[in-house]
């Protein structure tokens, strides 16, 4: 409850200071969003000084409460609170809001600014990230006990967040799972960029979330009532069986005499005169920018340091609770395997020819118990995508230690949940669906790459080899479009051993990995498992060589086998042929120039083969065999043949180059 030792007038001054910073930062940058940050200043004050459990001096404390600003356009509010509470942001950082190289970018970015938990901005993503965080918190608490993990996830969400489809999926999943450590505050300000939200939104948010199974508290006109806000947050925190939504009717840009409830205040609405008049109303010096009096800074710094005692107590308690389990805890916290975990990975021999989705399932099964943070499943395609955790409990309400997640037909939310769980830490989250549905997940995948969230996207049925389901389910452009995302390793393994190598990269790496897997069987390459694993780690390698090759055939996935067959035909004609598997372009690009040239010498004519778009292959090949049209409904082998993904087509392309 409220700290009665704090002078209420000092609290009001502190809130006014936050509102002043919310105006000054965007005004200095001539870019940004002022109104929402101003209206939410009292809520932020209550959260950071009365409710949130954190230690500003140790922002990575594992058992801290998490805070997500899902309405990331109001980032100046979060930056102001991080500065004031002592997270390391300086007043100069606020003055450099939205500038090149600053610690205060336009939207919050995880890993860039201490105290920012996830990268938000695209509306709805932070909402769904929080669900992933709550899943991770629950998993750790169930496995290691409350002395090790016992905290809450809070988020501020806007009408824009609730409008986006991903919020519907994520809220439905959270309610189904009964995630009781999740507390969201809905800023119901009735304002959108185009005008009043009623132009396009007339949902009853209370009834909507009640129907999902959430605990809903409608506080009404309480945006400036500090005690009512605190009581609402504490009541939500006390809920033990379901997530909570606290609804607050706010007024954007309050207490501005010019722009309160003005849609223009969503963006950069305040002139210098507007700011001066608003500061006068709040009792701040009208001629002072970035004004923070000593007594306000002291108030917030005391709040920021208050959690140190809780953190030190946790360090003592958790040390005893983890006695004998230290290695497991360290592996879990780092989303890595226990020592020797790779020894359990399957090895595939010359007589094996599994689909890579089947090989991936064998890898996942081998990691149970060896990669202790493993947590995930499929979007209603668990068996199809090889994302089952055999013998492990299903995550559901009443089974918080469940490791198998049934995401349901919620690909959008699944991607964002994986990202949130990864940023929470303590789990290695993975989720699977068909590659063609990666389109639904793309926003989350992009943010995973941007923020380097360590999660695994498992996409199977990777080509027109899907067959009879037809062009709606046959990916053509997807692999190439995913390769366009910076800092996202896209691995399309050619056989079972490369698949095992891909999982090694995922577990031992530090960011997201995309696994692109086949529906159809594919033979084991004529190289050993260790060679294949090293080849995946390096992105590309020679799987069949010849002295002084006349031509190089390079492919990915099941088409490496096509290249090998084409090489047989060319060798029978007296040609000297090298075959290269290039499972991960991103890993290959990270190798030094000498290695890349040794694998794909520029002086040797090169033909690529991949059952997808050819755009981009000109980086490596002089001629490309691929598919630059949509597929067709027919058996997969026939579709491949009719669209030219055959050894004959590859051999013909090579002959044309050599001619």
Q: Helix (H, G, I), strand (E, B), or coil: what is residue 392?
A: coil
**Spatial contact of 354 and 496, defined as CB atoms under 8 Å apart:** yes
Distance CA 596, CA 541 (A): 9
Q: Which H or E run includes 378? A: strand 374-378
Distance CA 427, CA 418 (A): 10
Distance CA 21, CA 77 (A): 8
Long-range contacts of 258-263 (CB under 8 A, 24+ apart): 259/35, 261/190, 261/191, 262/35, 262/191, 263/191, 263/192, 263/193, 263/194, 263/195, 263/196
Dihedral of CA 384/385/389/395: which sign? negative
Q: What angle do CA 172, 176, 178 make, to 5 degrees?
A: 115
Dihedral of CA 523/528/533/535: which sign? negative
Catalytic residue among 137, 230, 388, 411: 411
**Spatial contact of 376 and 422, defined as CB atoms under 8 Å apart:** no
SS3 of 610-626: the string is CCCCCCCHHHCCCEEEC
**Spatial contact of 133 and 421, defined as CB atoms under 8 Å apart:** yes
Distance CA 437, CA 479 (A): 12
Measure CA 72 to chain center: 15
Question: Which string of DSSP letters, residue by residue, matches 123-149?
Answer: TTHHHHHHHHHHHHHHHHHHHH-TTT-
Distance CA 237, CA 174 (A): 15
Instruction: Choose among 505, 335, 490: nearest CA to 418.
Output: 335
Side by side, which strands form the sheet with 623-625?
Answer: 541-544, 577-581, 551-555, 606-609, 623-625
> Phi/psi of residue 68, each to 5°?
-125, 125
Distance CA 52, CA 547 (A): 67
Residue 155 vs residues 70, 122, 215, 300: alpha-carbon distances, Å: 6, 15, 15, 20
611-643 CB burial, b ≥16 within 10 A, e <16:
bbbbebbeebbbbbbbbeeebeeeebeebbeeb
Residue 512 vs residues 418, 489, 492, 613: alpha-carbon distances, Å: 10, 7, 14, 23
Longest dimension (CA), the chain: 91
- Assess whether 411 carries a catalytic annotation: yes
Any idea what DSSP says for residue 65? P
Query: What are the catalytic residues?
Result: 411
């Amino acid at each position: 409850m409220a700290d009665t030792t704090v002078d209420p007038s000092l609290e009001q001054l502190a809130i006014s200071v936050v509102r002043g910073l919310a105006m000054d930062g965007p005004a200095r940058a001539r870019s940004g969003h002022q109104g929402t940050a101003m209206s939410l200043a009292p809520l932020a004050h209550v959260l950071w000084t009365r409710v949130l459990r954190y230690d500003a001096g140790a922002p990575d404390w594992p058992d801290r409460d998490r805070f997500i600003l899902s309405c990331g356009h109001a980032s100046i509010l979060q930056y102001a609170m991080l500065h004031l509470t002592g997270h390391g942001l300086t007043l100069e950082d606020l003055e450099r809001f939205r500038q090149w190289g600053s610690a205060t970018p336009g939207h919050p970015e995880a890993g860039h600014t201490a105290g920012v938990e996830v990268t938000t901005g695209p509306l709805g993503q932070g909402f769904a990230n929080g669900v992933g965080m709550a899943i991770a918190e629950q998993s750790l608490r169930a496995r290691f006990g409350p002395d090790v993990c016992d905290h809450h996830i809070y988020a501020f969400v806007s009408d824009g967040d609730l409008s986006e489809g991903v919020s519907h999926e994520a809220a439905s999943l959270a309610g189904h799972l009964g995630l009781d450590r999740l507390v969201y505050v809905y800023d119901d300000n009735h304002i959108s960029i185009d005008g009043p939200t009623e132009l396009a939104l007339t949902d009853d948010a209370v009834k909507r979330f009640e129907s999902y199974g959430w605990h809903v508290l409608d506080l009404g006109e309480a945006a400036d009532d500090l005690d009512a806000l605190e009581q609402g947050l504490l009541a939500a925190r006390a809920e033990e069986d379901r997530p909570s939504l606290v609804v607050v009717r706010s007024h954007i840009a309050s207490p501005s005499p010019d722009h309160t409830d003005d849609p223009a205040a969503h963006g950069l609405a305040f002139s210098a005169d507007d700011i001066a008049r608003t500061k006068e109303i709040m009792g701040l010096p009208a001629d002072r920018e970035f004004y923070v009096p000593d007594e306000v800074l002291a108030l917030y710094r005391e709040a920021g340091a208050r959690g140190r005692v809780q953190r030190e107590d946790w360090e003592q308690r958790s040390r005893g609770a983890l006695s004998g389990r230290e290695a497991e805890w360290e592996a879990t916290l780092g989303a890595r395997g226990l020592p020797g975990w790779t020894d359990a990975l399957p090895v595939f021999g010359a007589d094996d020819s599994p689909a890579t989705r089947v090989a991936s399932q064998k890898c996942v099964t081998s990691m149970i118990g060896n990669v202790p943070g493993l947590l995930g499943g499929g979007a209603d395609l668990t068996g199809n995508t090889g994302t089952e955790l055999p013998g492990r409990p299903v995550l559901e309400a009443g089974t918080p230690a469940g490791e198998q997640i049934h995401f349901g037909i919620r690909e959008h939310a699944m991607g964002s949940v994986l990202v949130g769980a990864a940023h929470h830490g303590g789990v290695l989250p993975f989720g699977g669906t068909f590659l063609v549905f990666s389109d639904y997940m793309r926003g989350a995948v992009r943010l995973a790459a941007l923020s380097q969230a360590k999660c695994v996207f498992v996409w199977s049925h990777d080509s027109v080899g899907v067959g009879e389901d037809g062009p709606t389910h046959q990916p053509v452009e997807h692999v190439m479009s995913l390769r366009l995302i910076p800092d996202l390793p896209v691995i399309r393994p050619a056989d079972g051993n490369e698949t095992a190598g891909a999982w090694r990269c995922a577990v031992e790496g530090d960011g997201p990995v995309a696994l692109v897997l086949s529906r159809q069987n594919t033979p084991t390459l004529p190289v050993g498992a260790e060679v294949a694993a090293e080849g995946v780690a390096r992105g590309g390698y020679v799987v069949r060589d010849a002295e002084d090759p006349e031509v190089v055939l390079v492919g990915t996935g099941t088409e490496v086998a096509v290249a090998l067959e084409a090489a047989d035909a060319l060798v029978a004609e007296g040609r000297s042929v090298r075959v290269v598997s290039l499972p991960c372009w991103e890993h290959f690009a990270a190798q030094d120039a000498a290695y890349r040239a040794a694998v794909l010498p520029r002086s040797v004519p090169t033909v690529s083969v991949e059952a997808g778009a050819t755009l981009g292959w000109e980086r490596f090949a002089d001629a490309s065999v691929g598919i630059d049209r949509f597929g067709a409904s027919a058996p997969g082998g026939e579709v491949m043949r009719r669209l030219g993904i055959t050894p004959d087509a590859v051999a013909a392309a090579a002959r044309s180059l050599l001619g």
